[in-house]
Amino acid sequence: MRTFVTSVLKKSSVAAIVLMSALGAAAPAQAGDCTGYVVGVRPLNQYDHTAGRGFLSVRTGPGGSYQQIGELYLGDEFAVWDRRGNWYLVQCMAGRCTQPYWGQPSPNGWAYGNYLSMGGVCP
């Protein structure tokens, strides 16, 4: 009896996998499946790096005490790779961040989530 039950369970599992494939079940989420735009920062015509206006800092770690390595600007598009609380590991994809006023072009680092509007399968 035990062999029969094991055999039926194995066949059922295989059938379920085949059925899911046939129905076009979504593939598991991959890093970078989440994208978004920078929102809630002042426009570029109010940019002032010294005063901290007109940009969102990109940092080496998930927190305000980490070193700033770049900037994102209002409307810039980014991909999300990870999350720690309300901090997101982002990479600039398009917009002014590809040619920033300060810091490295197309920065890859941590940004504060209150200024990010995201969609897709996010971490």
Q: Domain ranges in the chain? A: 29-120
Stretch (H or E) spanning 94: strand 87-94
The domain made up of 29-120 has a fold known as: SH3 type barrels. (2.30.30)
pTM: 0.75
Stretch (H or E) spanning 7: helix 2-22
CA count, 13 A, side-chain hemisphere, 85: 8
For residue range 65-122, list pLDDT tens digits in order.
Answer: 999 999 999 999 999 999 999 999 999 999 999 999 999 999 999 999 999 999 988 8
Q: How many residues does the chain have?
A: 123
